[in-house]
Chain A
Amino acid sequence: MRWIYYFLALVMISIQCMGQAVAQDLRMPGYGGYSGYAPLPSDSIYLAQNDTDTVSYTGSTEEEPFRESWFTANKMHGYLGLSSLILAGVAAVTAPDDDDEGGGTAAQTNRGTHHNAATAAAALGTAAVTSGFILHWDDVNLENGILDRDNLHMLLGVLATAAYIAAISQAPEESHATLGMAGGMAMGIGIVLEW
């Protein structure tokens, strides 16, 4: 059951990354932050209370060309989902053959990589689903039916992650491969729908 610790560690790291991305999105009121926002040029910043002079703000202004940040909470959600899908692929590629059951060194390495990649995929999938619910809850709306793209994306993401976790917990039984592949497909379709 050591995989659970590894799983939890990856989820925690992902949440930490999400936290940083969210923190960047939530700027302090009145403070320009560093992503292109700034007080109006007419505003001033007082450097010291006992000084009567004010210093005009000379940093960036809103008139500056817009630069999209690559590190936002929304994007983090996407990175988690994509990484989860890629790791599921790594797990599939490194799955040991039935002939490897004997347990040579190469087979053991493969089994280790396969197991770790699968655990990481499940952990990142869990983090992606959690962040999706937090950030995009308002996009989930049953008014347009379950086949609405956002609804399907959410549903497939949840099912994919559940399938990953079920596959890990059932391994090394033969049925776990089917679950893992189903999870990978669901995650892939879910991502394509939102791409």
Chain B
Amino acid sequence: MSKLILSVLIAAMFASSALAADFFPRFKGVAPVKNAKHESECGSCHFAYQPGLLPSRSWRKLMEPKELEDHFGDNAEMEGGERLAILDFLVKHAAETSWYKRATKINRSVPKSQTPLRITETRYIKRKHEEVPRKMIQDNPRVRSLSYCNNCHMRAADGVYDDDTVRIPGFPDW
């Protein structure tokens, strides 16, 4: 009898485990922090990358006025006050300050001597995507580059980047 009760208990536990993620916040991705200025200034041109995707030294370098003048081929200059406000937000929540798993893994994968300016240049992100063939990313007109995280990571805006939430456009069976 106790085995039967236990079996029912196990089934109930599976169901409650499924619900657990809804009740207890998870820390697997990067912190889904938001900032209105960051959203409007950076998010107007590209996905507003969460600060946890790069260490603070990278954000500092990226947000230098000279760097913003030539922001990967575009001019992204902004007012001093706004720039500093966004920089403050990015540094405050940068990868090394985070408990979120992917942020810590990104931070650990970047040698202290390096200051990557692209998230896709970090060793962790490279390693996680190395098995994805070109045809699914670079040669896929609906994705084009790893930089467009949210084209495939359906919950990127929530800081969730796991396999379960990936949908590669045009490749349902990836």
Contact = CB atoms under 8 A, between A and B. Distances in A.
B148 to A, nearest CB: 15
Nearest to B18: A70
Interface string A109-123: 100110011001000
A29 B173 CA distance: 6
A120 B2 CA distance: 12
B10 interface: yes
Interface in A137-170: 141, 143-145, 148-150
Contacts of B123: 143
A34 to B, nearest CB: 11
Interface residues of A, number: 46
Interface in A70-126: 70-72, 74-75, 78-79, 82-83, 86-87, 90, 109, 112-113, 116-117, 120, 124
B167 interface: yes
A40 B17 contact: no
A58 interface: no
Given A29-B173, A90-B9, A194-B28, A66 B167 contact: yes
Contacts of A141: 127
A148 B108 contact: yes
A62 B105 contact: no
Contacts of A124: 10
B104 A195 contact: no
Contacts of A150: 101, 105
B156 to A, nearest CB: 11
B13 A117 contact: no
B6 A116 contact: yes
Interface of B: 2-3, 5-6, 9-10, 13-14, 17-18, 20, 24, 26-28, 101, 104-105, 108-109, 123, 127, 154-155, 162-165, 167, 169-170, 172-173
Closest 8 CB pairs between A and B? A37-B172, A66-B154, A79-B17, A82-B17, A83-B13, A144-B108, A112-B2, A113-B2
Given A62-B169, A78-B17, A117-B6, 5 more contacts: A83-B10, A83-B17, A149-B101, A149-B105, A195-B26
